[in-house]
């Protein structure tokens, strides 16, 4: 699979294979809040960008800076159906015992906080939908009532 390699200091673009990346470049894939003096590589689909000072806030796919990429994926997948074992497998973990990893994740304070905030956001979204549905229902009743009044007055 070919990818574009873009350097922050050098405007040239080169095409390279992901297998050709060296082990040292893969070490730089750590995503934490530390500023690095050397360039950092992070991946987007079909693109590899290198930036001088990388922060997790700049990474678009990970909404929570406190979680790893797979932990964030677990939180997203766990929200779908509440099945932890399936969420672990869908998040990309290769294990024979997904229940053990789920047990650890559900007791991890950062994952718990992220799950709680995601549930609160979903709850607010559902409340907004319920209020909108009620308003639409009331508007339909009023319009139906007005239609009946118009029919009676004619």
Model pLDDT, residue 146: 81
Sign of CA dihedral 70, 97, 113, 125: positive
For the stretch 31-34, contacts whose Cβ atoms lie closer than 8 Å and that sit 24 or more positions apart, written own/partner, are 31/56, 31/59, 31/62, 31/68, 31/69, 32/56, 33/65
Model pLDDT, residue 3: 40
Whether 32 has a pLDDT exceeding 90, the answer reads: no
Counting Cβ atoms within 10 Å, is residue 105 exposed (0-12), middle (13-18) or buried (19+)? buried
Enumerate the CATH 1.10.10.1400 domain ranges in the chain, comma separated. 63-154
Model pLDDT, residue 65: 63
Q: Could you report the per-residue pLDDT of 75-126, keeping only the tens digit for each?
A: 999 988 889 999 999 999 999 999 999 999 999 999 999 999 888 988 888 8
Three-class HEC string of the chain: CEEEEECCCCCCEEEEEHHHCCHHHHHCCCCCCCCCCCCEEEEECCEEEEECCCCHHHCCCCCCCCCCHHHHHHHHHHHHHCCHHHHHHHCCCCCCCHHHHHHHHHHCHHHHHHHHHHHHHHHHHHHHHHHHHHHHHHHHHHHHHHHHHHHHHC
Model pLDDT, residue 78: 92
Neighbours of 73 (CB within 10 A): 19
CATH architecture of 63-154: Orthogonal Bundle (1.10)
Per-residue pLDDT band at 64 (split at 50, 70, 90): low
The mean pLDDT value of the chain amounts to: 69
Please state the separation of Cα 41 from the chain's center in Å.
19
């Amino acid at each position: 699979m070919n990818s574009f390699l873009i350097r922050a200091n050098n405007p040239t673009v080169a095409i390279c294979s992901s297998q050709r990346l060296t082990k040292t470049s893969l070490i730089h894939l750590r995503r934490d809040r530390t500023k690095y003096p050397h360039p950092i590589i992070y991946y987007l689909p079909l693109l590899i960008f290198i930036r001088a000072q990388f922060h997790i806030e700049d990474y678009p796919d990970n909404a929570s800076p406190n979680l790893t990429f797979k932990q964030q994926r677990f939180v997203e997948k766990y929200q779908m159906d509440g099945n932890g074992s399936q969420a672990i497998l869908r998040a990309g973990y290769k294990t024979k015992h997904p229940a053990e990893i789920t047990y650890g994740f559900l007791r991890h304070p950062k994952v718990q906080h992220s799950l709680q905030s995601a549930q609160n956001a979903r709850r607010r979204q559902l409340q907004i939908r319920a209020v909108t549905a009620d308003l639409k229902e009331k508007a339909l009743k009023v319009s139906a009532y007005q239609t009946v009044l118009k029919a009676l007055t004619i």
